[in-house]
Amino acid sequence: MRKCLVILLMAVSSVAIQAQDGRHSRPAVAYPLPFAVTISVDSAIASIPQKVYLVSYMEKEFQLHDSLAIDSVHRKGTMHGSVPYEYNVNLMFARRGPGTVPIVVKNGDSLSIHVGDEDDGFRFRYIDKVEGSPSTLEYIRSQDMSDSLRTKRIKIRSEMNMYDLSDARRDSLKKEWNATEAAGWMERYNYTMTGNSPYSVVEQASHVLSAARNKSYYSESPLTMDDADRMMNHLMKKFPDYPPLIALANDSTLGDNYTSAWSFDFYAMKLRELSRRFIVQSQDSALCPLKVGDYMNIYVAYNNLNKYRGKYLLVDFWASWCEPCLIEIPNIKLMAQMFSEDLDVVLVSLDKTSREWWQATKKYDFRSKTKEQTDKPFILNHLRGYDDKTGEMWPGVKKLGIKTIPHNYLVDRSGRIIAKNISIPLAIDKLKLLIEKEKQP
244-271 tens-digit pLDDT: 777 777 653 334 334 444 455 445 445 5
pLDDT over 80 (residue 11): no
Q: What is the mean pLDDT of residues 337-342?
A: 89
Question: What percentage of the chain reaches a pLDDT higher than 70?
Answer: 81
**pLDDT value at position 107?**
92
The residues near 154 (Cβ < 8 Å, ≥ 6 apart) are none
**pLDDT value at position 161?**
66
**pLDDT value at position 104?**
92
**pLDDT value at position 349?**
92
110 closest CA partner among 87, 139, 81, 137: 81
Distance of CA 127 to the CA centre of its chain: 11
Is residue 202 very low, low, confident or very high in pLDDT (cuts 50, 70, 90)?
confident
Angstrom distance (rounded) from CA 182 to CA 222: 6
pLDDT over 90 (residue 68): yes
pLDDT over 70 (residue 286): no
- pTM comes to 0.61
Q: Which residue has the higher pLDDT, 278 or 260?
A: 278
**pLDDT value at position 271?**
52
Q: Which helix (H) or strand (E) holds 434?
A: helix 424-439
Q: What is the mean pLDDT of residues 37-52?
A: 90
State the chain's mean pLDDT as an integer.
79
Yes or no: say if 17 and 30 are a contact pair by the CB < 8 Å rule: no
103-145 tens-digit pLDDT: 999 999 999 999 988 887 766 788 888 999 999 999 888 888 8
Q: What is the mean pLDDT of residues 65-72?
A: 92
Is residue 2 very low, low, confident or very high in pLDDT (cuts 50, 70, 90)?
very low
**pLDDT value at position 1?**
37
Instruction: Write down how long the chain is.
Output: 441
- 18-32, 174-188, 259-273: range with highest mean pLDDT: 174-188
Please report, for residues 324, 348, 405, the alpha-carbon distance to residue 316 in angstroms, rounded to integers and kept in the order given: 12, 6, 9
**pLDDT value at position 291?**
86
Angstrom distance (rounded) from CA 79 to CA 393: 38
The residues near 416 (Cβ < 8 Å, ≥ 6 apart) are 118, 293, 294, 295, 296
Burial environment of residue 206 by CB neighbours within 10 A (0 to 12, 13 to 18, 19 or more)? buried
Which DSSP string corresponds to 356-399?
Answer: HHHHHHHHTT---B-TTT-SS-B--EEEESB-TTT-PBPHHHHT
Give the number of other CB atoms < 10 A from CB of residue 4. Answer: 8
Angstrom distance (rounded) from CA 5 to CA 355: 70
Is residue 29 very low, low, confident or very high in pLDDT (cuts 50, 70, 90)?
very low
Q: Which residue has the higher pLDDT, 248 or 47?
A: 47
